[in-house]
A = this chain, B = another copy of it.
Amino acid sequence: MGETFDLAEHMAKRTALVDKMLDELLPKESEPPEALHKAMRYAVFSGGKRLRPTLVLDACEAVGGDVMKALPAACAIELIHTYSLVHDDLPCIDNDDVRRGMPTCHKVFGEAIALLCGDALLTLAFEVLSKEQMKVGVATDVVIETIGMIAEAVGHLGMVGGQVMDVEAQSMLTRDMHLSEELIREIHKRKTGALITVAVEVGAMIGGASVEQRKALRAYAHELGIAFQITDDLLDAEGNHAKKGEPNIATVLGIERSRQLATEAVERAIENLACFGERALPLRAIAKFVLLRKR
C-alpha cells in the first residue's frame, strides 16, 4: 500500500476539531467560580496531543461513520484523560510539579482547587456524553451504552483501579520488593490501556461498526495500548527520566527486549486493521508513530 499519509497534518486537523468543541463545552473563565473554571481550562488546554479523541474519531471513520457524531464522545474522553492527570499529579499520589514543561494544576491553583477541578472535569465528561451526544443525533441506545462502557473502563476495575495498583506497586518498590512483568503489565493495562481501548471501541460503536469490526478494532486498541505503555517506559528508561520507585517494564525486561515487544505489538495492531483497507490509514499511522514518538 502506498501509505504517503501525513499523520502530523491529520493529528493537527483532529486537534483543531476537538479543541474547538472543548472550548465550547468548558465554562468561561469569567464565570464564577472563576478559580475552578480557570483551572479546568488550564488543565485541558496544556498542549496535549489529543491522541485519545483522535482514536475515537479515527475508529468511527474506519467503519464509515460520521465523525461529527463521535465528536462529543471524543471530547468526553479527553476530559476524563485530563482529570486523571490532574489527580495523579497531586502531592498524595505522584507529587509532580511539572507536566509538559508547565507547572501542574495544583502548583498554580492549589491542591483544593486542583482536586475539585479533576472532579468537575470527570463530571462534565458524563454531562457531555448524555446531552451533547443527543444533540448530534447519536441513537439513544448507543448514548447509554457508550456511557456504561466508558464508566466501566475508567472505574474501579479500570483506570482508577490501575492507579491504585500503581500506588501499591510504588510502595512495594520502596520496600525493595520485586515487581513481576505480569504485575506491571496488569497495571499498564488498567491505568493506560483501558481508556485507549474504550476510546477506539466507542468510536467504532458510534460509527455503526459490525460485531466483527468491533472485535478487530478492540484487538487493535489492545495491542496499541501495550505498545504505547512499553514505549512510554522506554522513553523514561532511556532518557533517565525513570523515577526511582515507579513501575517500569523497560527496567525489568531491559531496553532491547522491551523494544522488541513494542514492535511486535504494533505489528499485531496493524494486522487487525486489514479488513478496513484505506479507511484505516490514520489508525495504522498512529500505531507506527507510537514506536517513533519522543517526549
Contact = CB atoms under 8 A, between A and B. Distances in A.
Given A115-B92, A147-B130, A124 B156 contact: yes
B131 A115 contact: no
A126 interface: yes
Contacts of A165: 32-33
**Range class of the A interface residue count:** 35 or more
A115 B115 contact: yes
A122 interface: yes
A101 to B, nearest CB: 25
Contacts of A19: none
Given A115-B115, A130-B147, A156 B35 contact: no
A87 B144 contact: no
Interface in A91-126: 92-93, 110-113, 115-116, 118-120, 122-124, 126
A87 B155 contact: no
Contact of A144 (B92, B143, B156): B143
Contact of A130 (B116, B119, B151, B157): B151
A9 interface: no
| Most B CB within 10 A of own CB, among A157, A164, A168 | A164
Interface in A139-153: 140-141, 143-145, 147-148, 151-152
Contact of A93 (B115, B124, B129, B152): B115
A167 B116 CA distance: 10
A140 B148 contact: no
Contacts of A37: 156
Given A93-B112, A122-B119, A141-B140, A36 B161 contact: yes
Given A122-B123, A155-B124, A156-B37, A116 B148 contact: no
B167 A155 contact: no
Contact of A115 (B35, B90, B157): B90
Instruction: Report copies per complex.
Output: 2
Contacts of A112: 92-93, 164, 167
A209 interface: no
Contacts of A126: 126, 147, 151
Contacts of A40: 156
Interface of A: 27, 32-33, 35-37, 40, 87, 90, 92-93, 110-113, 115-116, 118-120, 122-124, 126-127, 129-131, 134, 140-141, 143-145, 147-148, 151-152, 154-157, 160-161, 163-165, 167-168
Given A90-B92, A129-B147, A144-B144, 18 more contacts: A27-B157, A32-B161, A32-B165, A112-B167, A113-B164, A113-B167, A116-B163, A119-B122, A120-B160, A120-B161, A123-B151, A124-B155, A124-B156, A126-B126, A126-B147, A127-B152, A127-B155, A130-B147
